[in-house]
Structure 1
Amino acid sequence: MPHDSDNSSLPPTAASVLEVKDLHTQFDTRAGVLPVVNGVGFRLEKGKVLGLVGESGSGKSVTGFSIMGLLDAPGRIVSGQVLFNGQDLAQLDARALRNIRGNRIAMIFQDPMATLNPVLRIDVQMLETIHAHRKMGKAEALEHCRQTLARMGIPSPHERLKAYPHQLSGGMRQRVAIAIALLNGPELIIADEPTTALDVTIQAQILSEMQQLVRETGTALIWISHDLSVVAGLADDIAVMYAGRIVEHGSVDAVLDTPQHPYTQGLIGSLPSANQRSHRLQQISGMAPNLLDLPPGCAFAPRCPRAQARCQQPPDMQTIEPPLSQAATATAHTVRCFFPGAAPANAATPEAAADLSRSAA
């Protein structure tokens, strides 16, 4: 089966903090091999935000774990490169990765308790994170912890340092988890749906704080989410994943105003803000494919309203997947589709997508 790198059509840049090239991650199971990440590639520059979106099971979280080197058996990177400032993380041993994780690269998880130890006070956990990578006196380190908590909008940071995780609200715990990720001034942060379980008010506050952080520090950010409305107001670029592949990639304006892939159009069309009142929400028919039994040709073809014979190739033919190619709308806008183009008449309009972007900003 031919593979193409998702970032092959993107212009090179010397400012890239992260460059993922033709990344393949699979899980070896008793039922067979699961190609969870299948030829993913993208670049991320300093001070930029990439929104990685898609349904559950699309491979976006595993992409993040692959970059961080946090895959547990039976998961493994089969091929590809993860270049962090030119250094291939996929080739580093466990010790070298530990020196980078939590220091130059940090990850924020959906559940803050994946970061926080329930039996240790917040100050102990934050000091451990600092001393694991930097030599700093206790008084100076505690002051740095207080300042970092205050940056995340946490009131009375001195008192919060003495608290245990169970004494904090869910939103406060997530803020502390983000503060821990920021302690050592990482160049790259990967956030895996960190606001999904929070109410919309707390979510909006955290998103605003993350935007300010990126502007002030130049930190590069990958925001993984299934919620396109969240990514619309936060990211500079959007990469839409389906069945382990990036199917559309471009700037927020290009992807939301002129979506070219029918899957992206379906995601936008299913949002309440993209539908008229009293009308039924649009939905993408069918279910995401079983990665153990992907359809021949385009993985989205069984659910696609514009699929043709070329998309659904007979099993006895050589399987040819649609390549990731430049869209007609913008130079850096790429789409993986044999028949890309405007949405059908009953889909969300570009104006609705633009309203989505503005309302989320």
Structure 2
Amino acid sequence: MAGAGENWFFGRPKSGVFKNTPIRVVNKSPLVRGSVSDFFTHKGGKRAREVLFSNVRRCQICKKPCAVSLSVCNRCNASLDAVPVTETPNLFSAFMLGIENSGEFPLQISIRYETESCLVFDDPLALSPVHFCAIPTTNFIPDWRYLLCSPKEGLDIVQSLVDASHKTFREQFLADPEWKSSILRVSELVEAEHTLLGFNFPPSQNQLHLQYIVPPLLPHQYFMFARGQHFTPKRFFPLSYVEKCLGDLTERAKPLATYHSLLTIPIDELIDTLDKECGLSYESEHEKFISRVREVQNRFGNWTEDKFHGVYRLTENDESKRGKLLFKSFSEAISYIDENIAFAEEKEKLQNYGRPYDENGKPNGGFYAFPKSLEDIKVWS
């Protein structure tokens, strides 16, 4: 059951119905005390700035750093049209370096799996109950385009992130019968066939990170998907497209002459170049991915009416209710809720980030167990 449509989604899940899975944190202490800015002040230099900071549009409502190409915030849906591009700490690099805080908040993360070269953690902006980010930790790679400059090594890195994510999902979620029965309508989910994988460009954090999303999407996130707000064309690049590009470039006797120019040309031109050179169609790969999202949502979604207290609906033709959702409980009570508050409440109840929550009801977390020095990290440029 999809649990949502273009104008509605089930909301307020009943307590104890959906199973959460605890995180696996080994290290509770940072390697580096202080903030990202403190670290930069100590290290200094062009290389440190490149690794430690990102250019973003910082949402004026929820303060989330968003990719510069976004027109609305992908946390709270606020407009970014008038928001200037600014520099902000690169949180994923800070994770790799074991830095204590961003300057505004602690950098403890919901770790699922970690090795000397890889870190898999729950995405705090979860689109589904199981949504990981997987990053390499010995390479600083601003985004997936840089992989095109060294396609064989790039393909190896991508495969290592995929393998680590599959292993994490298989061992921590698929192996749990209680989790499967509460989240999946049918249990025959195969990680290599049914998961939703890809990369964003530009990313909100300048470090290559695989988006690893296990269906079904959360009801309110599928509602947003149905409205065209997730996996948008020319920003989301399915894993299949990236792998095919890298695979084709790896097999060439001579490297593609335009490797480095691919990092400076507009994204439309990049896609046109890769489609032509690699014999691919980004549009076709993206359309297939979008179709798969719908297919796996309906196949695996276990979002049925009996598991929720009510349904949220869009309000229509009422300017006074702009930004609000109508919540109708199944006991007939009706109320209007701010859209962003509703989304935050739903995510908090259904996500696996930081489980189990602490005594104050806040997510738990830790620090990367194999933190690097800046000198240990290979910078791709």
When normalised by structure 2's length, the TM-score is: 0.23
Higher relative contact order (CA 8 A, sep 6+): 2
When normalised by structure 1's length, the TM-score is: 0.24
